[in-house]
Structure 1
Amino acid sequence: MSTLPIYETFYAWQGEGCHMGRAAFFIRTFGCPVKCPWCDSAGTWHPDWVPEKIERFSADELADRAVAHRAEFAVITGGEPTIHDLTELTAALHRRDLPTHLETSGSFPIKGDFDWITVSPKWAKLPLPENLRRANEIKLIIEDGESVEKWRAQVSPLTAGQVVWLHPEWSKREDPAVMNSISVTVKTQGHPFRAGYQLHRVYNVDSLDSGARPIIPLGGNLEIGY
């Protein structure tokens, strides 16, 4: 049986999107070639923050961890999880009757059987059109006052009418240009746009589980929220 490199696993609740507030078990894979400059999981790829040792686990080992909790579903995230073949892992989770969600940039082919797919496009490596159409929801990271319109031009022709969440990039969550652009878009455009936020960070819920690693402050600047 093959194994996957895993950065962390932990039990919390989903802090974003259509399943916000529901109990979830998170499986965060190691590795990411996209490398966003504001990444909040830089320990999965950044040379300054990668742990000395990354453990590998089989699909059954990970699925057993997930069902040991009272989670409503499992979330496979990263890093960028789709650089790995997730077929065995999704099959193992489904054998245990645990719905399986994916969080991805959409930049690579998706290998695995998922009940829910969240695609969050990144400029460093744009998503594959087929992944945007396959997504159940789309999450756009809004970095400045022009981000919404830039993403609308890039993504809208390739979607299939899914909910599109507009999330302030975390270090810009108090930037009026960012926040106002989200509010104005939702108020003037309506569906498919919704205002989003990382609610789990407000509650600091991930840290309540001993399996979660601390959020890595990319660049080491806690004052700007990385």
Structure 2
Amino acid sequence: DGAVFQTKDAEDYFRKDLTCSSTIILNPITPKYLGLPSVKERNKTIVNAARLVAFKNQVLLVRAFSIVHEKHPDYDLKIYGPDSGDGTKEKILQTIEEYHLEGVVHLMGNSDALEKELPQAALFAYSSDYEGLPNSLLEAMAMGLPCVSTDCPCGGPRTLIQNGENGLLVPVGDAEALAGGMLALIENPERAAKLGRMAAKIAEIASTDRVFEAWQDYLLRVMAGQRNERR
């Protein structure tokens, strides 16, 4: 028998005797996010792409952006994603009004063309309270965006980001820390560019072909082990 997990945290949740032959395989990156032209000059927009639902905590992101906006009023925030209907959209709008961010924080709704709308952004910010393996963060990295994310359970962001190497991780639920991560990228363009270049290397292990190969190799190993047990 075998088991496949998306993150080490998820694997560690189960008893060792159940995971002794398990493996971790990333989600595949949709091909349209790969091989995009390099960006020579980024605009002054911070982007987030996630469903508007409580655990994605875009309310925290707006609060963090208010700190960024005080220092850099020429930046705006665009949040892409469908409304889940759980009241999160209304809470985001209330927070925008509370912090007087009308006109600089935009709820963009759902988009099927993020590969055209995101690549020139200054950075990608992710604010979840908990997460498996977030496809939108994976895709943002593949597009070469400098990324900052909460280091949330079940470990999806830390599976993708090695803090300070190909992105930044900050504590969960801490608006000041998230703002600090965004400011670190805004105020050090050379570092941001380097992190973006390193982030794009995620495609080397998460392209459709590489993920297919990982699944194929693992299934063959599991099947070979079962045959050996029958002998």
Normalising by structure 1, we get a TM-score of 0.29
Choose between structure 1 and 2: higher strand proportion.
1
Choose between structure 1 and 2: higher helix proportion.
2
Normalising by structure 2, we get a TM-score of 0.28
Report 1 or 2 for greater relative contact order, CA contacts < 8 Å, sequence distance ≥ 6: 2
Larger-Rg structure: 2
